[in-house]
Amino acid sequence: MRALIIDDSSSMRSILRSYMRELKYETFEAADGKEALQRYDEVGNFDVVLVDWNMPVMNGLEFVQALRKREECASVKLMMVTTENDFSRIEQALGAGADEFVMKPFTLEVLEQKIALLLGGADVS
């Protein structure tokens, strides 16, 4: 399983890399949305994409919108991983095409549960 981690903070990427490897994912990284799109062109599809909101060059919301325009990426699972916790921001992210939303700070256990929800483990919503 492959995960793309998009965050302008190298320490945050390091934490997420460690968590996702714990969950047996092969990880790839990008520091902003534009770099993440390039990663897509280089590597191909990912099973899970973790996206920060506030990034330079191209922010998380713009990345989600851009990715969802690509037909071949229609089914990739996108999760916002962010300090943003306003109701309207969450609505905005889900409306733009994000599948899930996890608010920082969180533990490995929370991330694992959220990914289980993402990958079809939750047939309740």
Q: Which parts of this chain interact with other proteins (CB under 8 A)?
A: 85-87, 90-91, 93-94, 98-103, 105-106, 109-110, 113-114, 116-117, 121-125
Min CB(100)–other proteins separation in Å: 5
Nearer to other proteins, 35 or 112 (CB): 112
- CB 8 within 8 Å of CB 32: yes
Structure letter (DSSP) for residue 82? E
Minimum CB distance to other proteins, residue 22 (Å): 17
Q: How far is the CB of 64 from other proteins (least distance, A)?
A: 13
Q: Which of 35, 41, 54, 50 is nearest to 4 (CA)?
A: 50
Helices 10-22 + 108-116 axis angle, to 10 = 70
